[in-house]
């Protein structure tokens, strides 16, 4: 019963989502269509370059939206396995850097001897990307993103976890916003820029992994999103970059 209820809720959410996404897509396609028409008429190289940059950004935003939609609506069960965070982060690094801007620095600070965690690696990769993109959007004038990982012997009496914190030096959040960020479709971003699904995905992932996620944020100083993921006692499974990284690069 719980399963089918969850499925029904998901379908409803996807239904609501379709309207919003269709609208966002339409705007992005208009940018591209109008850009193409202007390109045909302009010969000034600087102007053409600006048009092409705008079109490329619109296409990338469209791709980001589909990715989130797919992750959200995917009916497959998560497939948790034993994951080495250091390796997963380094495998995700190229995709991560492509999602950021030059004025954003990324620091990876993982404690030596970090335990493997139990998680679905493709989904964990998406979580890290979602958090990094949020951090980027919170730092319009640039700043630093820190990914910090450490072992926690006994998290609130619940056993062994690995703590992964994603910290930014961005604008932070007021309490009223902080209270709502895990809701699906809650966004403060412009139409076409935010789907409001990023942190909902992070929350769902943490719950389904047997872990948790918390937010610590100060307006004007920055935000830290902290994940606790259960320790795995099996050796980490070896494989190449996960689904997203594989999708993003040509075969």
Is residue 173 a contact residue for ligand ADP (CB under 6 A)?
A: yes
158 in contact with ligand ADP (CB under 6 A): no
**Residue among 195 and 209 whose Cβ is closer to ligand ADP:** 195
DSSP conformation class of 214: E
For residue 213, what are the β-bridge partners? 227
Residue choice 28, 88, 96, 181 for contact with ligand ADP (CB under 6 A): 181
Nearer to ligand ADP, 149 or 184 (CB): 184
CB of 146 to ligand ADP, least distance (A): 12
- Bridge partners of 104? 143
Q: Which of residues 21-50 bind ligand ADP (CB under 6 A)?
A: none
The interface region with ligand ADP, picked from 74-82, 108-116, 167-175, 243-251 by CB under 6 A, is 167-175
* Residue among 106, 110, 108 at smallest CA distance from 136: 106
The H or E element that residue 202 is part of is helix 198-208
Contact status: 55 vs ligand ADP (CB under 6 A):
no
Structure tokens at 115: 């335990």
Site for ligand ADP in 190-219 (CB under 6 A): 194-200
Nearer to ligand ADP, 130 or 209 (CB): 130
Hunting for tokens 């992932």 — which residue is that? 205
Closest residue by beta carbon to ligand ADP: 198
Stretch that binds ligand ADP, among 8-16, 44-52, 133-141, 157-165 (CB under 6 A): 133-141
> For residue 123, which of 64, 199, 201 has the smallest C-alpha distance?
201
Interatomic CA distance for residues 137 and 129, integer angstroms: 12
Which residue from 72, 145, 161, 187 is in contact with ligand ADP, where contact means CB under 6 A?
Answer: 187
* CA distances to 4, 55, 103, 155 from 140, in Å: 42, 21, 9, 34
188 sits near ligand ADP (criterion: CB under 6 A): yes
One residue of 65, 71, 138, 165 binding ligand ADP per CB under 6 A = 138
Q: Is the separation of the CB atoms in 148 and 167 below 8 Å?
A: yes
Q: Residue 160 is encoded by which pair of tokens?
A: 């062994």
Sign of torsion, CA 17 223 102 137? positive
| Binding-site size, ligand ADP (CB under 6 A) | 23
State which residue, 140 or 159, has the beta carbon closest to ligand ADP.
140
With a CB cutoff of 8 Å and minimum separation 6, the contacts of 36 are 55
Locate tokens 């958090």: which residue? Answer: 131
Which residues here bind ligand ADP, judged by CB under 6 A?
A: 130, 134-135, 138, 168, 170-173, 177, 181, 186-189, 194-200, 223
């Amino acid at each position: 019963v719980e399963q089918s209820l969850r499925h029904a809720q998901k379908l409803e959410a996807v239904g609501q989502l379709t309207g919003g996404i269709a609208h966002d897509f339409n705007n992005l396609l208009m940018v591209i269509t109008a850009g193409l028409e202007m390109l045909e008429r302009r010969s000034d190289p600087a102007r053409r370059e600006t048009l092409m940059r705008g079109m490329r950004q619109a296409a990338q935003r469209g791709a980001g939206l589909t990715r989130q939609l797919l992750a959200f609506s995917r009916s497959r069960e998560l497939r948790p396995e034993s994951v080495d965070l250091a390796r997963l982060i380094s495998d995700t690094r190229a995709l991560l850097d492509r999602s950021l801007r030059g004025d954003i620095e990324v620091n990876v600070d993982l404690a030596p001897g970090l335990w493997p965690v139990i998680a679905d690696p493709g989904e964990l990769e998406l979580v890290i990307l979602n958090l990094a993109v949020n951090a980027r959007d919170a730092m319009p004038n640039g700043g630093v993103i820190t990914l910090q990982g450490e072992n926690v012997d006994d998290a609130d009496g619940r056993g062994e976890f690995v703590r992964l914190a994603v910290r930014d030096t961005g604008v932070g959040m007021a309490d009223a916003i902080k209270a709502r960020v895990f809701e699906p479709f809650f966004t403060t971003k412009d139409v076409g820029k935010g789907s409001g699904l990023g942190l909902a995905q992070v929350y769902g992932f943490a719950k389904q992994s047997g872990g948790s996620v918390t937010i610590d944020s100060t307006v004007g100083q920055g935000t830290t999103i902290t994940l606790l993921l259960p320790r795995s006692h099996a050796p980490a499974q070896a494989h190449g970059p996960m689904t997203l990284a594989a999708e993003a690069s040509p075969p």
